[in-house]
A = this chain, B = another copy of it.
Amino acid sequence: MAVLSTIQCVFSVVLVLFASPLPCLNVRAYQRPVMVQQTGKVLPKPQMMTVSAEAYTLAMSSFKFTYGSSSEMCDIVDQAFRRYYDLIFDVDGPKKAPKVPESMAELTVLQVMVKEPCKGAYPSLESSENYTLTVTAPMGMLVADSAWGVLRGLETFSQLIYRTDDGTMIINKTTVEDFPRFAHRGILLDTSRHFIPLKYIKQNLDAMAYNKFNVFHWHIVDDQSFPYQSVVFPDLSAKGAFNPYTHLYTQEDVKDVIEYSRLRGIRVVPEFDTPGHTASWGAGLPGFLTPCYDGSTPNGKYYAANPMLNTTYDYMTKLLQEVKDVFPDKYVHLGGDEVNFNCWKSNPDITKFMEKMGFGTDYSKLEQYYIKNILDISTSIGRDYIVWQEVLDNGVQDKSTVGEVWFENPTIQAVLERLTAKGYRVLLAAGWYLNHDVYNPGTDWADFYKLDPQVFNGTQAQKDLVIGGEACMWGEYVDGTNLIARLWPRASAVAERLWSNKDVKNMADATVRMDEQRCRMVRRGLNAEPLHPGFCQFEYD
């Protein structure tokens, strides 16, 4: 009864290559699911890894993380030691007394070497995340340029450990040399269409760390609400948040998120999208939006930033200056997407301004005028920027701009080719809209997995301009109730595509590791949803 008709059923069997068995498959002798085991598989798959049959035990009482004698010490690594000790030994999870086989050597130390100073550091687009991990008893070695590489290496180390049936913790003799394929590996969360409580933002940052994502693209405000508490314009949230107390990210909350991210090697890139997507700004920033007209009279509605007023740019200067002070990342996302001209066209003052500026009736010139001013402001205060793809298609001159590709125009590959041919750096988001949930979460991850941001017609120089991508979780139908389950482990497919070598594309192997990764996340307390019928050793409860 779990499908609507036999025809649909047979259809599914043919089409759905990586789907779990639908009940219709049961008409023949049925293979029952086997437990998803933790077997020490790693996701994303490291660039180079050699696992030997030789294995070592680990024991909670004797195992230690240490710094190498010449290594830099810092808070980032100290806290990571604490976290990974908990994760590895399940301090909050089920207890089993490990029995150490006498014949097996014990790994008692993982010594960590950080080459660069890391105290108080923030990750950046240029950060090295390279690491080398050597697991040999009694002492393993983890060597990295930076604390960020140490974090990635510790995640790999924790994933390599598994338990035998009798509870013994095991790690095989292993060497790993690893580095990311792309420098920017992001998750977009939208906290405007629904407010997402801090608890779930942090759960998502945990999941990101488990999957080696390194950018939290915080689409923090939009038409629907303005939950960011601004110091220079407190009315923006006082009048623009769903509720200015309960549905608000205070300055302290934002600091908390940035610090939580920093300790996990995750950049926080906030987005303040203008001139469109700004309905929630109107009440708190009078005069910022453009009045719309019916004929010669204002109709009481407003749409988009008013591009003809100096005050608009004064407001944006002050706000972006604050954003610079609050968010340490070198980049800010300035939006620039989906601008509709109807309201601007209806406004007689805008019409006069168009004439004065010599724009004729080409409102895209007005849009470019606005965007150019905003980008100049950003540059003048010392922030680089990311914008949505329209801005680049409309012809920004500054080649340092990063464009985020979000729709097929006419295809994803065509956009990548066109924008990189113009010399822009790009991020890929189109094809990775994980909010587009479907009946069968067991199949759509395969599509995410197969999408390669560098497969398009172009030179190597063009390919090199692709600096990464982002899995997007837009918020129309998502809040704290369903965020984690809907995003994970589907986003793990994007994680591997962005970290691992381009040749890592064996779907059968990926399927096994996706399952193991989802059960690992469940074991670590996240409600990552299932991709197939079956079970984890420890379910979410």
Chain B residues with CB below 8 A from A477, complex form: 20, 440-442, 529-532
How far apart sit A224 and B534, CA to CA, in the bound complex (Å)? Answer: 7
Chain B residues with CB below 8 A from A5, complex form: 407-409
Is A233 positioned at the interface, with any CB of B under 8 Å from its CB? no
Question: Contact residue range for chain A?
Answer: 35 or more
Chain B residues with CB below 8 A from A530, complex form: 194, 477-479, 481
How far apart sit A55 and B477, CA to CA, in the bound complex (Å)? Answer: 35
Q: Mark each residue of chain A from 182 to 216: 1 if its CB lies under 8 Å from any CB of chain B, else 0.
A: 00000000100111010100000000000000000
Is A359 positioned at the interface, with any CB of B under 8 Å from its CB? no
Q: How many Å from the CB of A275 to the closest CB on chain B?
A: 12
Taken together, the copies of this chain in the complex come to 2
Which residue of chain B is the closest to A390 with respect to CB atoms?
Answer: B1
How far apart sit A192 and B362, CA to CA, in the bound complex (Å)? Answer: 61
Chain B residues with CB below 8 A from A537, complex form: 243, 246
Is A342 positioned at the interface, with any CB of B under 8 Å from its CB? yes
Chain B residues with CB below 8 A from A430, complex form: 4
With contacts A26-B279, A476-B532 known, is A435 near B482, CB below 8 A? no
Which residue of chain B is the closest to A340 with respect to CB atoms?
Answer: B27
Is A437 positioned at the interface, with any CB of B under 8 Å from its CB? yes
Q: Are the C-beta atoms of A480 and B1 separated by less than 8 Å?
A: no
Q: How many Å from the CB of A270 to the closest CB on chain B?
A: 15
User: Of B28, B33, B193, which is within 8 A of A224 by CB?
Assistant: B33
Q: Mark each residue of chain A from 27 to 57: 1 if its CB lies under 8 Å from any CB of chain B, else 0.
A: 1111011010000000000000000000000
Is A352 positioned at the interface, with any CB of B under 8 Å from its CB? no
How far apart sit A531 and B527, CA to CA, in the bound complex (Å)? Answer: 20
Chain B residues with CB below 8 A from A222, complex form: 23
Q: Are the C-beta atoms of B438 and A193 separated by less than 8 Å?
A: no
How far apart sit A204 and B193, CA to CA, in the bound complex (Å)? Answer: 27
Q: Are the C-beta atoms of A481 and B540 separated by less than 8 Å?
A: yes
How far apart sit A413 and B378, CA to CA, in the bound complex (Å)? Answer: 62
Q: Mark each residue of chain A from 448 to 481: 1 if its CB lies under 8 Å from any CB of chain B, else 0.
A: 0000000000000000000000001011111111
Q: How many Å from the CB of A411 to the closest CB on chain B?
A: 11
A360-389, CB < 8 A from B? 388
Q: Are the C-beta atoms of A539 and B195 separated by less than 8 Å?
A: yes
Which residue of chain B is the closest to A484 with respect to CB atoms?
Answer: B481
Q: Are the C-beta atoms of B224 and A2 separated by less than 8 Å?
A: no
Q: How many Å from the CB of A517 to the closest CB on chain B?
A: 14
With contacts A338-B24, A530-B478 known, is A280 near B439, CB below 8 A? no
Is A276 positioned at the interface, with any CB of B under 8 Å from its CB? yes
Q: Are the C-beta atoms of A30 and B438 separated by less than 8 Å?
A: no
Q: Mark each residue of chain A from 223 to 242: 1 if its CB lies under 8 Å from any CB of chain B, else 0.
A: 11100000000000000001
A144-202, CB < 8 A from B? 190, 193-195, 197, 199
Chain B residues with CB below 8 A from A20, complex form: 476-477
Is A114 positioned at the interface, with any CB of B under 8 Å from its CB? no
Q: Are the C-beta atoms of B29 and A301 separated by less than 8 Å?
A: yes
Q: How many Å from the CB of A301 to the closest CB on chain B?
A: 3
Q: Are the C-beta atoms of B522 and A27 separated by less than 8 Å?
A: no
How far apart sit A396 and B437, CA to CA, in the bound complex (Å)? Answer: 41
Q: Are the C-beta atoms of B407 and A4 separated by less than 8 Å?
A: yes
Q: Are the C-beta atoms of B242 and A33 separated by less than 8 Å?
A: yes
Chain B residues with CB below 8 A from A337, complex form: 1
User: Of B194, B438, B528, which is within 8 A of A438 by CB?
Assistant: B438
Q: Are the C-beta atoms of A1 and B479 separated by less than 8 Å?
A: no
Is A247 positioned at the interface, with any CB of B under 8 Å from its CB? yes
Q: Are the C-beta atoms of B522 and A481 separated by less than 8 Å?
A: yes
Q: Are the C-beta atoms of A27 and B276 separated by less than 8 Å?
A: yes
Q: How many Å from the CB of A418 to the closest CB on chain B?
A: 16
Is A277 positioned at the interface, with any CB of B under 8 Å from its CB? yes
Q: Are the C-beta atoms of A197 and B30 separated by less than 8 Å?
A: no
User: Of B26, B303, B528, which is within 8 A of A223 by CB?
Assistant: B26
Is A18 positioned at the interface, with any CB of B under 8 Å from its CB? no
Chain B residues with CB below 8 A from A476, complex form: 2, 20, 22-23, 440, 442, 532-533
Which residue of chain B is the closest to A341 with respect to CB atoms?
Answer: B27
List 11 additional contacts besides A1-B406, A1-B472; criterion CB under 8 Å.
Answer: A2-B193, A27-B276, A28-B340, A30-B279, A30-B303, A193-B533, A195-B535, A224-B533, A437-B437, A438-B439, A481-B485
Q: What 7 A-B pairs have minimum CB-CB distances, sorted nearest first?
A: A29-B301, A27-B340, A30-B279, A2-B474, A481-B527, A193-B533, A482-B485
Contacts A/B (CB < 8 Å), 27 sampled? A1-B407, A2-B435, A3-B407, A5-B407, A5-B408, A20-B477, A23-B277, A24-B338, A26-B338, A27-B276, A28-B301, A30-B303, A33-B224, A224-B533, A242-B534, A242-B535, A243-B535, A246-B539, A437-B438, A441-B477, A476-B533, A478-B529, A480-B539, A481-B530, A482-B485, A482-B527, A485-B485
